[in-house]
Structure 1
């Protein structure tokens, strides 16, 4: 069974226990001698227990108002027949039930509670005013109502936290999918480069070999000179194959650098900004958590540059040092050191991402103009994140 069901059953049991205990405490010393009083108290106790046991969603402002009016009417009828019973305490559980009502009907239940307090005071005017008892009833209602509001707020916070966690998980999955798409874009670019570059060279090589076959019987010297040119084309093709193999090999290590390059390719294809990407030193394998953070930082930085910087050139460099990845982004936009940097939602999100992962990020001016962003993120985020 769902935990919320158990929690709801426990709450109803607590309300019913309070009602039963309250009526036991206010019973006269010899209830069997006053059977009519016992019957009245039992009838009111049954009404309040029914109110506590009814599903919370069943109640609304109209039904609470009807319940108060019905109980007040029954009390007036009984007091007309038996002038001494019931006394004002018969409405205390009603105050309790109004205090634990659903927060949606808070405005109406407060009004009904005020009406109930007035009825209690009216009965006291007939039986004898006890300001201590009146204050105790009001304080009981306030305490119960505040406790109920705190419980409702806690329940709402838990629900919102669950929704936030679900949204965060969905965002992480979406980011990984976006990185996969960016990596696919980069793979497509590599395949196109191989086709356009290496394919052209192989075609040229085939044509020259066919010509060489015809030249050998006619002019051996010219054919010998042509071999050198053919070898140059072949060597250049081998170099391109090696470069492509290295790129594909790096791609197989993870979504990190290849996703960054894919994102840059997408931005360049849809804007007039030229982006230069550079890897300083050897780049190893990045965990998914580290890759996601660096990808989101670069994405937010490039988005801000496109929106606000009016830049024409962006330089992006990646370097691994001391188990950390350093991402440096510089542009030639309109930012200058003399004006303060506006830390909006995007830049604040970048700072939060880095600090949450145990890294750091710094913003400074780029000479002669533009902005420089340097983010440092640990490769092992789990051990760097504070408990």
Structure 2
């Protein structure tokens, strides 16, 4: 399109120039009353007008040039005294060029003025009514013809512009469609990754629950079964009591397994000091470990559900580890709180002297504390033993509230 534009502009100037030159030669070869020099001068002005007018941008200046050419042509007509001929040809040429070059309304007004001036000149020179009507009809017909050509050309150009804009919009829409497809694929991939992460997190939670609850109960079963042969030798009543305890713990393990498998909600039995005292009582009864609970620094016992479960599970795992690994005879739990935090300290008199190995149990305890927004630390007790210090915020965060709702 851009390569053809200069050639098209050259063609628009060349064709009317050739028409002017050929008609000028024809009129000069058949001179009438017109002065040949004046005739050549007027045609030369028109020829210059054809090559200069495309470079004029102002509509007012173009209109002034058209009016000047019209006045020059009327002067030439009046001087030459010709009723038909070169002057009439130039007026018609000027009218046709105005139909293409001037805006629609201006070209119509200018053509009306040309026709009016032509009528006055013909009347002043004694032209007949038929001649006047014939000239007017020819000018009107030519104006309608070339105006319609101009309108069709402008309509075609507008259609081409609209087509180009539609093609551009089509390309943009295709690009946007590809971007949306890419974003959709990325969203699907992110959804799959999010689902995998949620499944992995749920598996980790279930594994931690099994380790903390069922592992604790099975440790109690193992301890009581290990002591059963010695109790059988000493007392039949004590052996029956141990067997009943083992059965009771086994049933509780089964119930815990069912709870985990069916992904039931948090157990209401893991709420408050009552649950902690019950846990300590079970540990003392089944393992022989003496556990003391100090709540003197506790101002209230109303805790959020996530805090209650976290304390219960961490105390449960801590006591299980003491039974398994510490070889301790005594453990102590101290619970206190202030306006914003709850503090739990668990100590034992076991064999720990400072070298701590993080297994699944200790790691799970830290993860539970951090998930609840708190912290968990381990340190040695002199001369031996392990101290576990837990700090939990009492205010439930927005993230935890959403987890609670889920």
Normalising by the residue count of structure 2, what TM-score does the alignment of the two structures yield?
0.46
Larger Rg: 2
Normalising by the residue count of structure 1, what TM-score does the alignment of the two structures yield?
0.48
